[in-house]
Amino acid sequence: MEYLAVIAPITAVLALILAYGLSAWINKSGAGTYKMKEVASRIRAGAMAFLKRKYLAMTVAIIVLSAAIGLLVNALTAALFAAGSIFSALACYFGMKSAIKGIVRAAHAASVSGINKALKVAFRSGAVMGLCVAGFGLFGIGMVVAVLGAVSAAETVCGFGLGASTAALLACAGGGIYTRAAVLGSDMFASFVGAMISVISLAVIIPGAAPRFGDGFDLNPVVGTFFPLLIYSSGLLASMVTVMFVRGRKDADPTASINTGTYVGVVIVIICSLFFSKALFGGYNCAVAASAGALAGVVIGRVTEAFTSENHRHAKRVAGKCEAGTAAAMVSGLRTGMASTVWFVLCVAACILAAQEFAGPYGVAVSAVGMLSTTGMTLAAGAFGHISGSVGGIAEIAQLSGSTRLITDKLDVAGKTAAAKGKGFATGAAVLTSFALFIVYSQIVGLREVNLINPVVAAGMFIGAMLPFLFCALTMGAVGRAASSMVEEVRRQFKEIPGIMTGETKPDYAKCVDISTRSAIKEMIIPGILAVVAPLLVGIFLGAEPLAGMLTGALTSGVCLAVMLANAGGAWDNAKKYIESGMHGGKGSESQKAD
């Protein structure tokens, strides 16, 4: 059965080859007028300067942490930690390069070829990110299992996941100020790898955690390791197919084409999971768990779309409230975000209960794998959302025709919904992955239950519930300080450099990029340290059970906060687009100013 281990690395290599092919196809697309190329070059220079400086800082941190792991644990775990960090960085770097190139080319395609070519260029630019994240993640985990074997891999593969998580943490803390697509990619890479690690750990390390399929039959550790690898492989193959068939039509909503691709991918994963579960386990229990995760991802996407799309009543309600002013619009948006958490949490809870009922704790981890199996397609849609938002800006700066702006506006609306759905999917996947890893932790330290009426445990739980809010406050403060510095610099340039407004003189873009870059690197230090040190301090000074309480509190409050903020922002964004389409006064009205 060990021959199955090579399927995952081979599938991953195929995905990376397709990503390279899509990137080459995007490069061959026209880049537009001189003005468009000039704007695109500024965007590219700024993003690459930021990534270069951020990765330099990350390299120092990774080297130090790798050395510490090598001294405290072992050299193999340290090497896997470094590999996880490098793979995460590579996936986001290649994805970002493609996204930056795709922005100007999608704008040009909209002006000369219409919405079909523009959607293909923008979406395939995002697909490079999705395929790189899923490809590098599956290749890394697959190679560890193939080289070391299932049992040996379970003892060291956590190093790979820790490296991926560390890179994601640094990207989220710093990149959120400048490159949102890279943040989404890093986050999804960490969840993708973490879900696989939780399954391997539960299948191999934890006795009795695997499900029983009949009297006296326990899950074979090798089978338990290969099953999620096969699910990931089938999902990645499905993503490779579906990203190629996303199309746009003149009178159709681009969201419908993207949704169809997602649904087809999920159906393929469910069919494959039924086959693999029957072949490897002799039953369909694990297929039910994987299918529960895959379907939960679809439901979360639909819920997010319902609360953020301008075609649904929630965003329209926010737009209507804009007529009463900014305060009413803010309250309505926050209310929408809060209400959206209800269906999100119920969906995740149902998925966990179904997976536990059919396949035990192992099934909960498998459900996370099922949700993340179509990461290539889902992340492509999420990255497309961030790309399409910039396409309209290029078209406006380059003063393209009104018909082109209508196309880019349509892409922008679809993109904002796709970006919100991508955040929702990433949050749902992170919840399932975190819960699966929490089960691994509780089994390793010997916790069979957590006593919440124990004051020390309750203290840990309250500390954990507070941490997401503190982390959010720190990052929001960082963004605010960076924005203030940027505004001051822009005002200075308008005052001291004549001719900027008339186009006779070019602004000093490098100075603005430097402000963003320095702020991002500087401000990521404290949030990064907080996320790493807080669990260590609670575990050392309060013990294993209070740490479990802290993790529980952080997970439950963090998911609700993340969903609320993401969907409130999505509702505000699309409410603005709804107003700009001519509703509630249209562009330039008081309603638009309020939003």
Percent with pLDDT over 70 in the chain: 88
Average pLDDT score over residue span 297-306: 88
| Residue 583 DSSP one-character state | G
Q: Report the DSSP beta bridge partners of residue 218.
A: 212
Residue type, 448: R
Average pLDDT score over residue span 385-393: 79
Q: Is the pTM of this model over 0.75?
A: yes
DSSP string, 403-450: HHHHHHHHHHHHHHHHHHHHHHHHHHHHHHHHHHHHHHHHHHTT-S--
- Overall domain count for the chain: 1
pLDDT at 180: 57
- How many Cα atoms sit within 13 Å of 203 on the Cβ side? 28
pLDDT tier, 11 (very low <50, low <70, confident <90, very high otherwise): very high
590 within some domain: no
Q: How far, in Å, CA of 205 to CA of 396, rounded?
A: 57
Query: Which of these, 122, 93, 129, lies nearest to 15 by C-alpha position?
Result: 129
Helix (H) or strand (E) holding 591: helix 590-594
Please list, in sequence order, all residues whose beta carbon lies within 8 angstroms of the beta carbon of residue 429, skipping any fewer than 6 positions away. Answer: 188, 191, 192, 195, 297, 368, 371, 372, 375
456 within some domain: no
Average pLDDT score over residue span 361-371: 87
Average pLDDT score over residue span 407-412: 81
Residue position matching structure tokens 């249209």: 586
pLDDT at 177: 39
pLDDT at 214: 39
> Tens digits of per-residue pLDDT, 30-41?
777 777 887 778
pLDDT tier, 189 (very low <50, low <70, confident <90, very high otherwise): low
Structural tokens at position 317 = 């309600």
Residue position matching structure tokens 């990461």: 375
Please list, in sequence order, all residues whose beta carbon lies within 8 angstroms of the beta carbon of residue 106, skipping any fewer than 6 positions away. Answer: 118, 119, 121, 122, 125, 387, 388, 391, 411
Q: How far is CA 234 from CA 268, 270, 275, 308, 470, in A?
A: 8, 9, 11, 30, 39
Residue position matching structure tokens 């690197």: 521
Q: Assess contact for 535 and 447: CB atoms under 8 A.
A: no
Q: How far, in Å, CA of 285 to CA of 263, rounded?
A: 22
Query: Which of these, 387, 490, 417, 528, lies nearest to 58 by C-alpha position?
Result: 528
* Dihedral pair phi/psi, residue 125, rounded to 5°: -65, -40
The domain of 106 spans: 2-449
pLDDT at 595: 59
Say yes or no to pLDDT of 215 above 50: no
Average pLDDT score over residue span 242-266: 81
472 within some domain: no
pLDDT at 210: 46
Q: How far, in Å, CA of 12 to CA of 138, rounded?
A: 6
DSSP string, 240-309: HHHGGG----TTS-HHHHHHHHHHHHHHHHHHHHHHHHHHHHSSSHHHHHHHHHHHHHHHHHHHHHHHH-
345 within some domain: yes
Q: Assess contact for 191 and 433: CB atoms under 8 A.
A: yes
> Tens digits of per-residue pLDDT, 500-525?
776 677 777 777 777 776 776 677 77
585 within some domain: no
pLDDT at 204: 66
Average pLDDT score over residue span 202-231: 65
> Tens digits of per-residue pLDDT, 447-469?
878 888 889 999 999 999 999 99
pLDDT at 55: 77
Please list, in sequence order, all residues whose beta carbon lies within 8 angstroms of the beta carbon of residue 323, skipping any fewer than 6 positions away. Answer: 584, 585, 590, 591, 594
Please list, in sequence order, all residues whose beta carbon lies within 8 angstroms of the beta carbon of residue 30, skipping any fewer than 6 positions away. Answer: 105, 108, 109, 112
pLDDT at 342: 93
> Tens digits of per-residue pLDDT, 94-153?
888 888 888 888 888 888 888 888 888 888 988 998 898 889 888 988 888 888 877 777
Q: How far, in Å, CA of 289 to CA of 236, rounded?
A: 18
Q: Assess contact for 229 and 7: CB atoms under 8 A.
A: yes
pLDDT tier, 205 (very low <50, low <70, confident <90, very high otherwise): low
pLDDT tier, 237 (very low <50, low <70, confident <90, very high otherwise): very high
Residue scoring higher pLDDT (415 or 335) = 335
124 within some domain: yes
> Tens digits of per-residue pLDDT, 533-553?
888 888 888 888 999 999 999
| Residue 212 DSSP one-character state | B
pLDDT tier, 294 (very low <50, low <70, confident <90, very high otherwise): very high
553 within some domain: no
* DSSP reduced 3-state for 497: coil
415 within some domain: yes
- How many Cα atoms sit within 13 Å of 401 on the Cβ side? 10
